Chains A and B, each alone.
Chain A
Amino acid sequence: MSTTLEPAPARRPPSAAAPPPDPAPPPRAAPSSDTPQVLTLLATLALLAAACLPLTRVFVGLAFLAPVFAAVLLSAGLSYGARRYGLDPVTSLCVSVGGWVVFCSFAFFADTLALEVLPTPATAEGAVALWQRGLELMRLRPAPAFAEAGLIFITVTGVWAIAHAVEGMVGRLAAPLKATVMALVLWVVPLTLAPGATAAWRWTVPFLVAATALLLAFAGDDLGRWGTWVGGRSRRGAATLLPGGSVIALVAIVAGTGLAGFLPGFGQPPWYELRGSSGTTLTSNPIVDIRTRLVAQDTGPVMRVRSDRPVYLRVTSLDVYGENEEWTNQGIDGAPLDGDVPFEVGIGPAAQVNVDVEVANLSQAVLVPAPYQALTVSGEAAGAFQYDPSLSTMTLDQGTTLEAGDTYTVSAALPSPDAEQLDAAQSFSLDGALTQLPANVPPAVPALARQIVDQAGAATPFRQALAIQEELRSWEYSTEPPQGHSGQAMEAFISNRIGYCEQYAGTMAVMLRSLNIPARVAVGYTPGELVDPEDRAYVVTNANAHAWVEVLFPGLGWVTFEPTPRSDGNVLVPSAANLAPSITAAQGGVDDPERLIPGEERADLVPEDPLDRTNTAPSPAADAAGSGGRNGAARALLLTGLALLGIAVLAGGMVAAGGRNRTLSPVQRVLHARTQTERIGRGLGVAPAESETDHEYLHRLARRSSGECWQAAGALAEAAARARYATALPPESAATSEDAAERLGRGLLAGVPAWQRPLVRVRGALGMAVAGLSRRRSQPSGSASPAARILRRRAPRRPGIADR
């Protein structure tokens, strides 16, 4: 049986979506019987999975993985199945949409289903509401965000659509390159959104490996077609090479891994920060940062602290609870410090403490952990400190960060009024801002607050705060709570009564505000582990990240409350007897305040009026984050470029290299055998002239070889000519020509010392590449030759005398 071909080596139509109309279309080369379809599907799934990996940077925890991977599997699987079943693309799309509806119904709206299987109008309503909620969350939440249903719903939908498209491109369009670019979109979006990470190879390498696997497993005529575009008119360039492609892919991956770290902007904050409209300019919300720190694997010290007594090292405070349902602030506006720290509000009796801090690993923090209320700062790093008195936040000059080894000393006055003073104090918000709550606070929260204070019979703000603190401290602590700190989550939290510091502090602050008590959430570190009782040395780790509550008592200052029953007990629990405890809960109670500073002695330090909070100078932190963002943009672009370059190099290499591949047609195999021989020939310095036929070139080559190469050259030339110019190619031609090419190649290399053979091959490959490039540019000659050449005297010939 002879293989029927187009009159000439056929150029496949650019879009192979619809089969050619002729009754017996040539068999599709791409995912035909040669490449197991399942292998292609597996490679596609691997690519999609690799493209989804960067989502781990957008979400807190791994809860999102199950629905996202399920969506990938189902979408690609449905598309694959529909194609195998012979459905056309439109029907396949309908099947996919149906699958998406069913999947999302079960995953997100199981309680609205009739008979537990049928979607109802309530399901549709729920979907619309959840979609809108998801869009709202995308606007509100900084990355990384908790895997809330709305966000997951949108993510799953996007992943579903891309998975369907990618599978379709691979399976139907036979276009793995385009599919890879599509998957690249999925891959790059999380990278542009999420905060910077130091190890880009974690995301890059799996993606490149998966893309390589797909392209190599496929190696279909997408590459061949592409090769004819870039390779000029030469069909020789269309062949693909498994080994060559693998080597080039390896180079691309190694280069991508090794060079990524040298890129400018590497490891900087992200390009675009997906976060709320308000406030803080930190690249990640500190309160979300707590959660990541609490579950961080890195348990090494972040600070080493020497202090007379355990103190909370406060980073900043969050005094705005908005409709976006999270605690944040209006931005940090630092002003340079010269030793003395201005006060935010006047404080009353306080306990003085000196704290020496040595930074170990704060990962380039722009906020300085310090006890409240700081009085003076000194030390090596203190020169760069700035201070925002409105939030009692110590920050740094623009462009500087806290690096390992930095040391500073903070002298602070811990507000420690006694219970009578507090009972007497009227807690009120000066401008109402500190008791503001949005309308969408779940009603159950103020109701519970009212219930707690009523049961406790607490009359004064101080007693009410203590009552709520005590109630919350009776709940359960867990770093793996069901959800974050949104309105819904808060509702879930007060019914489940399980959570961690962020939820405790956030909820207590909301409760207090609902009782018209000015409160805010402070963020920082618990005292840490006392490692050297003699030296009073503490080690603070990521696990000491913490959030607590501050309540404003005018004239007495911001007083700390601690609602979180931390499992490590590393908290300072204020009580009616002692508002500035000097022993942590784990150490078994509270002791009497030491070295109380009488209020009158500190009077000169206490400003009469709170600072004007409207004074907003440009924030150094904001600027730092802004410039970081620009770097992040460059980094994201460069990383994307690198990934694209890797793919391009890989694909180009596969096209240029040429090689034996089982998906090649007999014609391609013959021409490839011919190209292999030409490569060796070029390696030996015998390149074919453009005007040379296969017979002429191969026989010229055979003259260079030893052994019985004439026959091989003749057979190969015959097969090549047949492949190029005949209407049909005998099926055995492919094997014959490959065999002949091998014999010829052996004969050619026989005369070359073994150590030179790799050189020959390299030179041959280079020669082929150069020839491919020049072939694209050259025009067929035959235009007028220079006069000099015409008039050049040639050996005289006598006309008519036979010389043939």
Chain B
Amino acid sequence: MATKPEDGVSVQALADSFAGIAANVETVLEGKSEVVRLALVALLAEGHLLIEDVPGVGKTLLAKAIGRSIACSVRRVQFTPDLLPSDITGVTVYNQEHGDFEFKPGAVFANIVLGDEINRAGPKTQSALLESMEERTVSVDGTTHELGVPFMVIATQNPIELEGTYPLPEAQRDRFMMRLSIGYPGVEAEMEMLEVHGRGDRVASLQPVADAQEIAALVETVKGLHAAQPLRRYIVDLVRATRTHAAVELGGSPRACLALLRASRAYAAAQGRDFVIPDDVKTLVQPLLAHRLILTPEAQMSDQHPADVLDELLGSVPIPAESGPQPRAGT
């Protein structure tokens, strides 16, 4: 019954793999299963992740744990103000032995790239990620290099400490599929954390439960998942509604639409479902759209936030119940 696209695995197998990876990551990040699941959804949807939260809640830990759980290449880049674009993309150097120029791949040549404190590097350096994040290629000195599959950028940033930081440009933010906040752990989880802390590096001891090929197969499966016409309509209605909302200056882009559909597919598959339902979309709207919206100055003055706008829209955009041609909406 379940769909099994070519080069993919069955949805049930995907859900099992997903649960395995999630459980593995959760051994180091207790009580944050929803965040872990969303992060993995971004992985399966070929998206990139922006983890934004106050210091010390485990942003880097989450990124590292995901990288460790999958047997694939993981590179970590600590973004600093003096980081250069070529440190990220790579550089062509003259090899005296061969008497030839040779490309030295940068940090981006990995399956999972962990960009720590991404807003501490200058816009020039941040922009070095633009091409690789969207097109999954790197062009240096006229040569285009393909990146591997999977490829995922997990960036962290601290929204509180803004001194000496460079806010991400809009184009860069739009390329991140999701923005997640981890939040403080619950009382129990924090107690547990104190208990086990200091008994060795738990991340380092984390064993991979999947490899790059497996992830690539899961990604293929997600791509083939069924999303009914009314559901696609709902996604479009939602994103269009963000553009016309009076409090929003810049709404969701068409890329946001695509991202919402891809992430919804991954989320549905992660639950062992071979079709997408509106609930999937609703769950993903906040992490996917909140960081893309820019509110009008008036709305910002009145202490309104993108999350409020999205809540309002989730409560008002009707769910198309039937297929067939629908009246144009939101224009």
Contacts and interface: CB of A to CB of B under 8 A. Distances in A.
A interacts with B: yes
Given A11-B323, A726-B274, A726-B275, A800 B329 contact: no
Given A782-B313, A784-B244, A802 B321 contact: no
Given A693-B277, A801-B181, A790 B247 contact: yes
Nearest to B183: A802
A420 interface: no
Contacts of A778: 318
A612 interface: no
B230 A802 contact: no
A804 B1 contact: no
A724 B228 contact: yes
A804 B183 contact: yes
A660 interface: no
A797 B318 contact: no
Contacts of A800: 52-54, 159-160, 181
B316 A787 contact: no
B164 to A, nearest CB: 18
A722 B279 CA distance: 12
Interface stretch (A87-95, A230-238, A276-284, A441-449): A230-238
B303 A236 contact: no
A725 B246 contact: no
Interface in B243-276: 244-247, 274-276
Interface string B277-313: 1110010001000000000001100111101100011
A414 B140 CA distance: 132
A693 B320 contact: no
Given A8-B228, A725-B228, A797-B307, A235 B329 contact: no
Interface string A273-307: 00000000000000000000000000000000000
A224 to B, nearest CB: 12
Interface in A714-730: 721-722, 724-728, 730
A25 interface: no
A693 B229 contact: no
Interface residues of A, number: 50
A722 B314 CA distance: 21
A532 interface: no
Given A690-B318, A785-B245, A802-B53, A727 B330 contact: no
B218 interface: no
Prevailing SS type, chain A contact patch: loop
A70 to B, nearest CB: 46
A691 B6 CA distance: 35
B226 A779 contact: no
Given A724-B230, A797-B308, A800-B160, A782 B240 contact: yes
A33 interface: no
A233 B229 contact: no
Contact of B323 (A8, A689, A804): A8
A228 interface: yes
A726 B305 contact: no
Contacts of B228: 7-8, 724-726
Interface string A204-248: 000000000000000000000000100001111000000000000
Given A691-B317, A800-B53, A794 B308 contact: yes
A234 B321 contact: yes
A233 B237 contact: no
Nearest to A788: B246
Nearest to A688: B319
Contacts of B314: 691
B3 A727 contact: yes
B1 A781 contact: no
Given A693-B319, A728-B1, A780 B246 contact: no
A721 B227 CA distance: 12
Given A692-B319, A782-B237, A785-B246, A233 B275 contact: no
B321 A689 contact: no
Interface string B215-252: 00000000000111111000001101100111100000
A2 B1 CA distance: 7
A739 interface: no
A728 B274 CA distance: 10
A235 B326 CA distance: 13
Contacts of B183: 801-804
Contacts of B286: 804
B210 interface: no
A726 B241 CA distance: 25
B176 to A, nearest CB: 14
Contacts of B326: 233, 780
A234 B322 CA distance: 6
A236 B324 contact: no
B315 interface: yes
Nearest to A231: B322
B182 interface: yes
Contacts of B315: 689, 691
Contacts of A792: 302
Contacts of B318: 690-691, 778, 780-781
B317 A781 contact: yes
B184 interface: yes
A790 B304 contact: yes
Contacts of A784: 244-246
Nearest to A689: B315
Contacts of B282: 693, 696
B327 interface: yes
B34 interface: yes
A799 interface: yes
Instruction: Give me the 7 closest cross-chain CB pairs, A-B, nearest first.
Output: A802-B183, A782-B241, A8-B323, A690-B318, A780-B329, A800-B159, A802-B181
16 contacts: A7-B229, A11-B324, A233-B326, A694-B277, A695-B279, A781-B316, A782-B240, A782-B244, A782-B329, A783-B330, A792-B302, A799-B305, A801-B181, A802-B53, A802-B182, A804-B181
Interface of A: 2, 7-9, 11, 228, 233-236, 689-696, 721-722, 724-728, 730, 778-787, 789-794, 796-797, 799-804
Given A726-B226, A790-B304, A804-B35, 6 more contacts: A721-B278, A727-B274, A790-B298, A791-B302, A793-B303, A804-B34
Interface of B: 1, 3, 34-35, 52-54, 57, 159-160, 181-184, 226-231, 237-238, 240-241, 244-247, 274-279, 282, 286, 298-299, 302-305, 307-308, 312-324, 326-327, 329-331
